[in-house]
Amino acid sequence: MRVHIATDHAGMELSAHLITALAAKGYDMVDHGPKAYDAEDDYPSFCINAALAVVADQAAGVDALGIVLGGSGNGEQIAANKVKGVRAALAWNLDTAKLAREHNDANVVAVGGRQHSVEEATSLIEAFLAEPFSNAERHVRRIGKIAAYEATGEVAE
């Protein structure tokens, strides 16, 4: 599986750890930056580029997911969710990480680097990456309604 990862300055240490740890587990890691620490960096471009890459890979039939990191993960999740076709979920415990995939077929996970130890954050992300989508009819239907709104701007009943 290819995994696109992006961060801001607050998540750089976690990002570096994840790139090494997940590559050692066989994931094809693609780093969307930043490349150097800058306390004034702007995370939206990094996160949007990672999200765009996830969508492009998935459209091309590549098994791909994304990770966006920041101090809280909130802004990074918001930025990623602006990309058409992205369903980014903020994970703060193992249940939210797994349910994001199982019920919502999330293709990007957001984690706050200042909210968890490196070990906790790694376990959340590993759980997200390993969890399959359930394909349960109710979840497929709900995701379809979100996608329809995204495409048309109309709210389905």
Kindly name the residue from 4, 32, 76, 116 that is annotated as catalytic. 76
* Distance (Å) of CA 32 to CA 48, 50, 100, 114, 147: 9, 6, 22, 20, 25
Cα(37)–Cα(32) distance, integer angstroms: 14
Cα of 85 vs its chain's centroid, Å: 12
Cα(135)–Cα(122) distance, integer angstroms: 26
* Catalytic residue status for 131: no
Kindly name the residue from 13, 103, 120, 131 that is annotated as catalytic. 103
* Catalytic residue status for 103: yes
Cα(127)–Cα(130) distance, integer angstroms: 5
Which residues are known catalytic residues? 76, 103
